[in-house]
Amino acid sequence: MPKLQQALFKHRPEQVKPGKSDFNLKPTAVDQWFDSLPLANIRISTKEIYNAIKDSNSISGSFKKRLYFLEKIHEPVTDLTNNLRKMTLGRDLPLSEKHQRIAILVRKLHEQIVIGYKLVLRELLNCKLFFYVLAEIN
């Protein structure tokens, strides 16, 4: 594996086959889950999105389904992040415990999103390498 791929995928979660209780990456299930999100409640929706991303990163699935899920939550995550950032901007340092938790949650949320996109990228690279090897054989 080239050095770039080793560096990109050094810290990735162990993935298992999805079970019945795991997050469902099928587009229809993602749409249903997304429609049920309480986006008006920043705290609850942020935690639910974080847990969904974390769960989805721990299961194996096609890169197309994973990418659909990540793109579906992109705009709400941006909005939530902006709203959470407003809660911590202009505060005296050190931040209160509540605002520290908010900042940590935003950081963890973005870390999980990065992991999700890395999983998509890894899958795409593996697919590209597979077809490259096939072309070299033929």
**Domain residue ranges of the chain, discontinuous segments joined by +:** 25-137
Q: What is the pLDDT of residue 79?
A: 85
Do 80 and 90 contact (CB within 8 A), yes or no? no
Q: Tens digit of pLDDT for each residue in 27-85?
A: 898 899 899 988 888 888 888 899 889 888 888 888 888 899 999 988 888 888 888 77
Q: Per residue in 111-137, is it b (16+ CB within 10 Å) or e — as a string?
A: ebbebbebbbeebebeeeeeeeeeeee
Rounded to a whole number, what is the distance in angstroms from the first to the last CA of the chain?
Answer: 22
Sorting pLDDT into bands at 50, 70 and 90, what band is 4? Answer: low
Angle (deg, nearest 10), helices 42-57 and 63-88: 150
More confident residue, 14 or 108: 108
**pTM of the entire predicted model:** 0.75
